[in-house]
């Protein structure tokens, strides 16, 4: 494989009837865990000179610019997949318990 382009993502509409905790769980499962799984599946197949391209929206950038702690996390060169996965799981758990806002998470599952 010469090039893999990750361009998958989903978002609930603003008026979606699903409760926020469900939107958070479904969105993170698709947009984060799904991308990680696809990446791990394709990585062994990519040629040494191959390329991986990730396509994303500006939704995540908006939150990153508003929250210095989040910005520091995702721009830290020492960030590991384990730490990032823990953060995604913390968001889903906080959404499920209704504490996401007080823990500094956004009120949107898409721009997390």
Give me the active site residues, please.
110
Token reading at 51: 């390329």
H helices present in the chain, as ranges: 20-28, 34-42, 59-66, 68-75, 81-97
Token reading at 85: 């996965």
């Amino acid at each position: 494989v010469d090039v893999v382009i990750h361009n998958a993502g989903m978002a609930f509409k603003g008026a979606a009837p699903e409760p926020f905790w469900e939107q958070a769980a479904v969105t993170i499962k698709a947009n984060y865990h799904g991308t990680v799984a696809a990446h791990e599946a394709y990585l062994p197949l990519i040629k040494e000179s191959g390329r991986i391209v990730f396509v994303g929206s500006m939704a995540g950038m908006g939150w990153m610019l508003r929250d210095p702690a989040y910005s520091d996390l995702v721009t830290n060169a020492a960030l590991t997949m384990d730490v990032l996965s823990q953060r995604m799981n913390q968001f889903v758990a906080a959404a499920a318990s209704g504490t996401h806002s007080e823990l500094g998470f956004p009120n949107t599952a898409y721009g997390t």
